[in-house]
Amino acid sequence: MVTYRGTQSSRLVQAYSSHNNEMSIEPKEPFMLAANAVQELHVGVRPVASGNKFFYLNVVDIEYHQLVRTFRRLIVHTYNEVDTNN
């Protein structure tokens, strides 16, 4: 979950991810970000490959096409191989 505070004015915004196939965001549709209100976004990450990767979450004002906020997280993911022959 990601929480953040709105700007000085209310905005109609939508959240976008940098890796659509590895990252899910709720709410998926545009929502009203009230002035100075705290908003929660539910974020799920499921990497498809091992290694280090930066994931970005962008909140965009869809009326004025302005970036409101960006969140960046480094995810370190490793796969543990399981021997199923025994």
Task: Give residue limits of the domains in the chain.
Answer: 2-77
Q: What is the mean pLDDT of the chain?
A: 89
Q: Please name the residue that has the structure tokens 């499921």.
A: 46
Domain 2-77 has what CATH class?
mainly beta
| pLDDT single digits (tens) 35-72 | 999 999 999 988 888 888 899 999 999 999 999 999 99
The arithmetic mean of pLDDT across residues 16-32, rounded, is 93
pTM of the shown model? 0.81
> What pLDDT is attached to residue 63?
96
Mean pLDDT of 7-11: 93
Q: Using CA atoms in the order 30, 49, 1, 36, what is the torsion angle rounded to 10 degrees?
A: -50
